[in-house]
Amino acid sequence: MEQVILKDMGQISYQPAWDLQQQLLAEVIDIKLKNRRSEGDKLAHKHYFLYCEHPHVYTLGRSGSMGNLLLTETGLEERGIEFHKINRGGDITYHGPGQLVGYPILDMDYFFTDIKRFISYIEEAVILTLAEYDLESGRIEGASGVWLFEPDRKICAIGIHLSRWVTMHGFAFNIQTNLQYFDYIIPCGITDKAVTSLEKELGRKVSLDEVKEKLSRHFCELFGFEFIE
């Protein structure tokens, strides 16, 4: 069974979390390339999984449009919101306190080299977690993430980057999230669907640690790995 190093970073600003992701990605890729070149003993390969929350920040993916950010630079400053253009797929999204963010940095050569299946497993872990709260959720064709229906509302956004079959970036699961911050963007460039959170759907407080425990269990079951610290 593959072992994945779990790092819970708590609340951390976006830039240092991004820097750490890139550092760990480079480490995993470096090990992979050295092992491919080596004819002798191999280095121990590594996988990482980062949990965190971010202060208020908008991130824009490679295929995103600046037109989906509805605030000026002054408006961002007045509200204390950071903005970053980044190298994941997808459009614009929001991260903030009360949102559970996960960054899997996995060498997919040790699991499966199928990006659609990888995204599907992330979605499934969230879907199974929501089912433990008696919430039925699912997917929408052509729109990654996890949704609740009638009306359609997104509860978890997904955006990833892949380099030499090593993943980075990941998912943002709205738990206690202040949804007002989604009003200042067109989330994921989608104009006809809403955004929600677990607390809004349940009408009660929910612990991030409780959700994290359930979600981690489903990730381990789906991918067939175990977390180590």
Can you give the CATH number for the domain in which 60 is found? 3.30.930.10
Residue 26 belongs to domain spanning = 2-36+45-228
The two three-digit tokens of residue 64, written as one number:
């995103």
The angle subtended at Cα 153 by Cα 152 and Cα 154, nearest 5°, is 130
Q: What is the pLDDT along the chain (229 residues), one digit of tens a residue?
A: 999 999 999 999 999 999 999 999 999 999 999 999 988 888 999 999 999 999 999 999 888 899 999 999 999 999 999 999 998 988 899 999 999 999 999 999 999 999 999 999 999 999 999 999 999 999 999 888 999 999 999 999 999 999 999 999 999 999 999 999 999 998 888 878 899 999 999 999 999 999 999 999 999 999 999 999 9
Told to judge if 188 belongs to the known catalytic residues of this protein, a careful annotator would answer yes
Give yes or no for a cis peptide into 97 (omega within 30° of 0): no
Residues in Cβ contact with 123 at an 8 Å cutoff, skipping those fewer than 6 apart: 139, 144, 145, 146, 156, 158
> What's the CA gap between 142 and 163, in Å, rounded?
23
Q: Which of 52, 156, 188, 220 is catalytic?
A: 188
What's the domain count of the chain? Answer: 1
